[in-house]
Amino acid sequence: MKIGIARETAPGETRVALLPEEVKKLTAAKHAVFVQKNAGAGIFIKDTEYKKAGANIADDPKDIFDKDIVVKLKAPREEEFDLLKTPKKNILVSMFHPQQNPWNIVLERASNTIVIALEMLANEHGERLINCNRMTGQQGMLLALQQSIKTPQECGILMLGYGEVATGAMQAAFGLGADIKIARRNELKDIGYFIKDRDLLVNALKWPEEKRRKKEYLVTRKMLALLAPGAIVLDLSVDHPGPIETCRATSVKDPFYFEEGVKHICIYGYPALSPLSSARRYSRQILPIVLEIANKGLAKASKEIKKAVVR
């Protein structure tokens, strides 16, 4: 198959979905790989490295988005969806988040494209196959502590959530000498008590779909007044609407905003704060998915891949 690897175009995004080491494995399997010019420049990967891996370098994005499989870390922008409007049904492998970005579905259907949403790929136990969960928590926590008016040792931190993202955040905080209170499930009903005078409120909860639909909040706008002066809200889940009423997605390029006098950090894609490390991890995880589709075709691909098709 012909595989196109697109340059990322989201504001502040410097990564690329597949690195030369993984591209070499695709070309070794006799697939033709086309990489958009300067796709890896943001993390200091030269086009010559892709050429050594057997890839072709394409100046024009049209020569990327018309391929059998198009690989992109973040969902295409509207003008890129226009380039996907080809007579054949090509396959887009990308982060897609249709629930948070329903407009993407409209664009996808108009482009005649089959989308494999990377964030929907999971094993039989529900674990995501494509993730930088601990890195998400780590990078978010480091940024929040850097923005705090207190040293980590003096910050009162309240953690909502227990999973991999929360673990990464706590590891970073503990490493800097911070003390964290984890709000247990049976304590959430008394959340107003536990957030009082906290310097950092961290959300790593997966908020139930039913609560999201009803816009039920754990921490309301009025509750922010209970936090300590100069406090920060760090939303690591970025799954809106979520448990904190005032949270909305931000970007690496513009990460902060204030609500009720409280700084909020709600970056949509925290691993981008460590672009080379996260690109390496994602590239290793994405390769088997692309290789399987290229070798077998989507019809014969695994059930995990088929379940990740956006419908």
Q: Look at residue 190 in the predicted model and tell me its pLDDT.
A: 96
Q: Look at residue 236 in the predicted model and tell me its pLDDT.
A: 97
Q: Look at residue 19 in the predicted model and tell me its pLDDT.
A: 98
Instruction: Give the residue from 299, 306, 284, 304 showing the smallest Cα distance to 122.
Output: 304
Q: Which residue(s) pair with 58 in the sheet?
A: 36
pTM of the prediction? 0.89
Which of the residue ranges 103-117, 189-203, 221-235 would you say has the lowest mean pLDDT?
103-117
Q: Please, what are the domains in the chain?
A: 2-120+275-307 (3.40.50.720), 133-273 (3.40.50.720)
Q: Look at residue 275 in the predicted model and tell me its pLDDT.
A: 96
Q: Is the pLDDT of residue 29 over 70?
A: yes
Q: What region, left, alpha or beta, does residue 109 occupy, with left being phi > 0 and alpha being psi -120 to 50 degrees? A: alpha
User: What is the Cα–Cα distance from 165 to 132, expressed in whole angstroms?
Assistant: 8
Q: Look at residue 100 in the predicted model and tell me its pLDDT.
A: 67
Between 211 and 111, name the one with better pLDDT.
211
Residue reference for tokens 């039989």: 124
Q: 196 near 152, Cβ under 8 Å?
A: no
| Helix/strand/coil for 265 | strand
pLDDT digits (tens, 9 = 90+) for 259-274: 999 999 999 889 999 9
Residue 107: how many CB atoms within 10 A of its CB? 20
For residues 11-38, average pLDDT = 97
Cβ contacts of 230 within 8 Å, gap of 6 or more: 148, 149, 150, 199
For residues 182-211, average pLDDT = 94
Between strands 69-71 and 56-58, the pairing is unpaired
Q: Is the pLDDT of residue 182 over 90?
A: yes
pLDDT digits (tens, 9 = 90+) for 73-121: 999 988 998 898 877 789 999 998 877 676 777 777 777 899 999 999 9
How much of the chain exceeds pLDDT 90, in percent? Answer: 80
Q: What is the mean pLDDT of the chain?
A: 94
**Per-residue CA distances from 79 to 40, 42, 76, 309 (Å):** 21, 21, 8, 22
Q: Look at residue 209 in the predicted model and tell me its pLDDT.
A: 85
